[in-house]
Amino acid sequence: MTRAKRTALSSTSSVPGGASQEGCADTPLWAARPSRGQRRPGLGWSPTPARLAMYEMTSEQVPVAWPLIAGDGPPPWGAEMGCDALSGGIFYCDPMGWVTDDALPVTNPNVFIFGKPGRGKSALVKALLLRMIRFGYRGLVLGDVKDEYEPLARLLGVEPHRIGPGLPGRINPLDPGPLADGWSELSAAESQRRLAVITSRWLTLLRGLVSSQGVPCGPTQERVLTRVLAGVTGSDRGCSQLAPAAVPDVWAALDSPSDDLIRDSRHHDRRSFLDETRPLRDALATLCEGSLRGMFDGPSTVRPDWRAPLQTLSLRALHDTGNQAAVGIALMCLNSWGQAMRELARPGDRRIVLRDEAWLQTRLSLDAVSSLDANLRLSRRDGDIQIVTYHKPSDPLAAGDAGSQAAQIARDLLHLADTRVLLGQDAEVASELGTLLGLTRMQRDAVTGWAMQERGRALWLVGDRRFKVQLLLTPLEQALFDTNTAVAWAL
Ligand SMILES: Nc1ncnc2c1ncn2[C@@H]1O[C@H](COP(=O)(O)OP(=O)(O)OP(=O)(O)O)[C@@H](O)[C@H]1O
Ligand SMILES: [Mg+2]
């Protein structure tokens, strides 16, 4: 309220109320009302006028003082997700469109979804996947741990790929992907560039796999692995084709090292090489034996149909063994493989890549966090929308001691997504929402209070803008996305 209006308001305090107002039909309302109210029973008379606080600030500063004030929602394009609780309007979600819209401070299309178990993380992803199909997007689910994307896939006429102990589905995490296509026709410079990309991806994965077994993977081990990969693929001999590589090949090359490998990795003799690389070999062997045997230790048998609206890779059979570490390692392999498959995606091949239950991977080791980090960093280049779900923001921090470099890298991972969706959380998580995501007290209260009152309620952080959104599901979606029935049957 302006100073002028305030003065005008107080000057009306002598205006008599009651009958005299009837003759004031043309008078503005504030001029017809005494500021203390009418002095009659039940009409709210106050002996002193209410003090009106006055603030002056620019429209840029207003959202800092009132962060959840109703303003314009995101532009009306993309998937209709539900209701903006502050404005009452429809909330639209189009992560890639937000990147290209200069009005929104969003520079990457990645989306992180946080929420206590059962708050509706997966339902939100499924709704987004289904509703973005209309806009030409297709989905890729890298590791459906609980088989919950199966009904959605079936609805879309797609049969899920299954990977698990004793199942025929196999993924080779060292698959070079489409970058190796037409290798013999590539110029020397281009093949060197592609080789560097492929080798870097493999090394990131192998480091993650090895360190997840508690084996440190420092520069010495990395040098050995680089030499081994070059030997296995034939790239050190300048071969015109990139020979297929798989984890057992790497293991075998370490177990029976060539003289060149021993010399290149600066070991005195074969004995010292074998002694020093034993932990490395043992760590790699976990992919070839035990729960993971037959899943990631040979050529890929899964051939994704990139024209289908959805491709899901089910890990339910492995999940049912109860070995959570194995599921984490499997997710890491799938994520790396998925990154390989998405390199050189055709123009117009719009895809939403989902990494559900990513906490199973990131809590394994810092290198496992770095592996996910590398997968996500590339999304801006290839145009995919990457969605990652966690339980709480501190999940990736479990990989390292608080305050260590590990925790810092894990913390940086959280900033790889400009869109973060915060479904309901317990009050204990409130302080980490503040420290890790920089939420104000009012925003934290929205996550631990308002969002906990109903499923699907979430605080959406889109760049530096905040929205309180209630996801609305159609009856068909409610039936398709229902995971509570499975819990009820299990009880
Ligand atoms: N907006 C919504 N409206 C109605 N029901 C919902 C909504 N969101 C989720 N649900 C229901 O809540 C249940 C739990 O949802 P969901 O499986 O998505 O939770 P989650 O956070 O992914 O759990 P978890 O961490 O165990 O994977 C499901 O039965 C789902 O159908
Ligand atoms: Mg879920």
Neighbours of 437 (CB within 10 A): 19
Residue with token string 């209630």 = 470
> How many angstroms does the Cα of residue 190 sit away from the middle of ligand 2?
41
Q: What is the pLDDT at residue 314?
A: 92
Long-range contacts of 234-242, Cβ-Cβ distance < 8 Å, separation of 24 or more: 235/195, 235/199, 240/183, 240/184, 241/183, 241/184, 242/176, 242/180, 242/183, 242/195, 242/198
Q: Whose CA is nearest to atom 2 of ligand 1?
A: 456
Which ligand is located closest to the Cα atom of residue 482? 1
pLDDT score for 403: 60
CA 124 to ligand 2 center in whole angstroms: 9
pLDDT at 4: 39
Name 84's bridge partners: 469
Strand 350-355 with 137-144, pairing: parallel
264-305 per-position pLDDT tens digit: 888 888 999 999 999 999 989 888 887 788 889 889 999 888
> What does the pLDDT read at residue 19?
40
Q: State which of 481, 485, 487, 491 you would mutate to test the pocket of ligand 1, scoring each by most atoms of that ligand within 8 A of its C-beta.
A: 481
Question: Could you name the CATH architecture of 79-167+310-490?
Answer: 3-Layer(aba) Sandwich (3.40)
Q: What is the pLDDT of residue 381?
A: 56
Cβ atoms 406, 435 nearer than 8 A: no
Atom 6 (ligand 1): residue with closest C-alpha? 455
Residue 170 CB-density burial (10 A; 0-12 exposed, 13-18 middle, 19+ buried):
middle
Q: Torsion-angle region of residue 473: left (phi > 0), alpha (psi -120 to 50) or beta?
A: beta
Query: 456 CA to middle of ligand 2, Å?
Result: 12
pLDDT for 144 equals 92
CB 310 within 8 A of CB 179: no
Q: CA 457, CA 425: separation in Å to the nearest integer?
A: 11
**Which pLDDT score, from 0 to 100, does residue 3 have?**
41
Low-confidence residues of the chain, pLDDT below 50?
Answer: 1-24, 487-491
Q: What stretches of 277-428 show up as alpha helix (H) in DSSP?
A: 278-285, 316-319, 324-342, 359-362, 366-377, 379-382, 405-414
Q: How far is the CA of 455 from the centre of ligand 2 (A)?
A: 13
Domain ranges, ordered by start, for the chain: 3-54, 79-167+310-490, 177-281
How confident is the model at residue 160, as a pLDDT?
Answer: 92
CA dihedral angle for residue 64, residue 67, residue 71, residue 74, rounded to 10 degrees: 100
Pocket of ligand 1 (CB under 6 A): 115, 117-123, 455-456, 471, 473, 478, 481-484
Residue with CA at minimum distance from ligand 1 atom 26: 117
Q: Which protein residues have their CB within 5 A of the ion that is ligand 2?
A: 121-122
Q: Are strands 79-84 and 90-93 parallel, antiparallel or unpaired?
A: antiparallel
Which token pair is 26? 């043309």
